[in-house]
Amino acid sequence: MGSTRSPLPRITGTISEFLEMIKFEHTVFALPFALVSLLLATGGHLTKSLVFWVVIAMVGARTGAMGFNRIIDADIDRINPRTKDRAIPAGRISKRAAVLISVIAFALFVFSAAMLNRACLLASPLAIVILVGYSFTKRYTAYSHLVLGLAISGAPLGAWLAATGSLAPPALTLSLAVLCWIAGFDILYSLQDVDFDRKTGLHSIPAAVGVASALWISRLLHLLSVLFLAGTAKLLNAGSFYLIGVTVVAVLLYYEHSLISPRDLSRINTAFFTINGLISMMFLAFVAIDIYL
């Protein structure tokens, strides 16, 4: 009798490759700000169901968005020396498999939104349009960084909507803080591809204005992010630990920018991955302390 090989190892390997391709662990960038929004919107009176479905919605949205980003950019990644070894260009995962997993992730996002409330469900298609649409913007505008910021700023907005069924001024200022923070560090990350972008006709702020000017724009956006966080504190009459959290964010952003100069871009990955993950987690910790203590 012939034996048939189980498809389970192949499926497991494909999913593992997909999660590595989208850097699943970087969900930590936006998820803490969604949790911050939940804490602020509810005054710390959270339910397990609310937190669970918000986390699942966040994971589904980011997984689907990053999956389609890699699919849409596969041809560009194939000719970029920095990205040519990503899973799709390198042939380790097919576009078909990536599309299937990404669609499932977005379906999970929509289902989670429906489990939260009607407002979240109605907003979920718009969120998907923005998340997927971002991947096309670098072909047309240097302001693609702001579109990415807009896409991820939906995390605190969506969490606030999940908690209250409506939006309020603090949700908007917190969202603007995330928009400026994301756009600012995406500009830093795109410094790696200035020459490639110019050669291939892709658009970015560094390619448009040069490295030195792009660094100043990133600094301005990060200053605005800190000011919006402080403005959120004023709207909510937040306590001293919240303000300490804002100060910690400001110090970490200052340190992030100290790592990079027009003459030395070698520490971009440290600035991008390590510092920004620390920013979101530290801010969440101080907001939680402020609310519960």
pLDDT of residue 20: 78
Is residue 189 domain-resident? yes
Give the C-alpha separation, 271 to 259, whole Å.
Answer: 7
Task: Report if residue 29 sits inside a domain.
Answer: yes
Q: How confident is the model at residue 32, as a pLDDT?
A: 95
CATH of the domain at 283: 1.10.357.140
The model's pTM is 0.93
User: Is 4 part of a structural domain of the chain?
Assistant: no
Rg of the chain, C-alpha, whole Å: 20
**pLDDT average per 10 residues of sequence, the chain (293 residues):** 59 78 75 96 96 96 93 95 91 92 96 98 97 96 97 96 96 98 95 95 96 97 98 96 98 93 81 85 97 93
Using an 8 Å Cβ cutoff, are 61 and 123 in contact?
no
In a domain, 3, yes or no: no
Per-residue confidence (pLDDT) for residue 136, from 0 to 100 = 97
Quote the CA–CA distance of 21 and 120 in Å, as a whole number. Answer: 28
- Quick one: which of 38, 290, 31 has its CA closest to 171? 38
Report pLDDT for 287. 98
Q: Is 1 inside a domain boundary?
A: no
- Count structural domains, the chain: 1
What is the per-residue burial (b if ≥16 Cβ within 10 Å, else e) of 264-293? ebeebeebbbebbbbbbebbbebbbebbee
Which residues span the domain enclosing 281? 10-292
Question: According to the model, what pLDDT value does residue 24 have?
Answer: 67
d(CA 104, CA 202) in angstroms, rounded, equals 30
Q: What is the signed CA dihedral for 240, 58, 279, 258, rounded to 10 degrees? A: -140
On whether residue 120 sits in a domain, the answer given is: yes
